Amino acid sequence: MWIWIAGFSLIILVCSYMMYKAHRDILDRREIVVSSYPKDFPPLQLFFISDIHKRSVSTETLRQIEGVHAVIIGGDLLEKGVPFIRLRENLRRLRTLKAPIYFVWGNNDYEVDQQHFKQVLAEENVIALCNNSAQLSIIEKTIRMVGFDDHDMGHINSSAALSEAKDEFTILLSHNPNGFIHLSPQEADKIDLVLSGHTHGGQIRILGIGPYTKGGIKFYHSTPVFISEGYGFTKLPFRLGTNAECHIITVISEKL
C-alpha cells in the first residue's frame, strides 16, 4: 500500500516539476560572433522568441529587455485552439519593446484561419516574411532579413527569398532548421546567420536523451545556426531537461 502511495506521490512531484519548467521563463542572453558581420556596424541586438504556441508572453520577462534593434518571432506563434485575442495580446506585448517585429511561419501556424491570421499580423504592424526579405536599419546601416516558409507545412522558395540578398549582412529566419540545412552550398553562402526553433530541444529529455538535440549554436555549411528550445510547448504542458526560453542575441564581428 505504502509503495503505491509513494509511487503516486513521486509521479505528482515529477509532473509538477515538469509543468513548472514549462512555464518558467529563461531569458537567455548571449553573444554570437559572426566574422562576416561588418566591423563598422554597431553590435546588433535582437530579441528572439520562437514556438509560443498556447502561452501568453510574460510582461515581467519583457520588462527586463530594452534597446533591441528588432523583435524576431521564429514561427509557431500559435496553434489550433489558441484564440485570436491571445495572439493579438501577445503581439501588443511584444510591441512594447518599441522595435520592428519580424515573423516567419511555423508548421502549427497553418492550423488556424490564414486570412484572419494575416489580418491580425498586418493590424499589429508585424513584418511577415514568407519566401521574401526586408531590410532592418540600425544607425544608418542596413541588414537583410530573409524569411523562409515553413519546411514541413509550407513551400520554401529559396531563390525568391534570397533574390534581394546581395552584399548586405544577411540573417535567415527559418522556423525549421532543415530549411537551411537542405540548401545548396551556393545559396547557403548568401546567408551569414540563421535563427530557428521548432525542435523545443526535445522538450522532454530522459537521462539527457530526447527526440531532438539540445538547442544552441550549430554549424551547417560553415554558417552559425542558432536553434532555440522555444518559449512554449506542444501537446502536454511539460518540460524536462529543456528550458522555456527566449533570447537577447548580440551579434558582433569579434570578441571585444
- Cα separation of 103 and 72, whole Å? 6
Residues 117-151 have pLDDT tens digits of 999 999 999 999 999 999 999 988 999 999 999 99
What confidence category does residue 14 fall into, taking pLDDT thresholds of 50, 70 and 90?
A: confident
Residue type, 205: R
Report DSSP letters for 53-66, one per residue. TTPPPPHHHHTT--
Q: Is the distance from CB of 253 to CB of 35 less than 8 angstroms?
A: yes
Residues 86-110 have pLDDT tens digits of 999 999 999 999 999 999 999 999 9
217: Cα within 13 Å, side-chain hemisphere: 12
Look at residues 143, 195, 151 and name the one whose alpha carbon lies nearest to residue 173.
195
CA distances from residue 147 to 123, 125, 144 in whole angstroms, order as listed: 20, 16, 10
Q: Which CATH architecture has domain 2-252?
A: 4-Layer Sandwich (3.60)
- Where residue 198 falls (left for φ over 0; alpha for ψ -120 to 50; beta otherwise) is left
Percent of the chain with pLDDT over 70: 96
Average pLDDT for 211-226: 94
Q: What is the pTM of this model?
A: 0.96
Looking at the DSSP bridge assignments, the partners of residue 249 are 30, 46
What confidence category does residue 5 fall into, taking pLDDT thresholds of 50, 70 and 90?
A: low
- Where residue 210 falls (left for φ over 0; alpha for ψ -120 to 50; beta otherwise) is beta
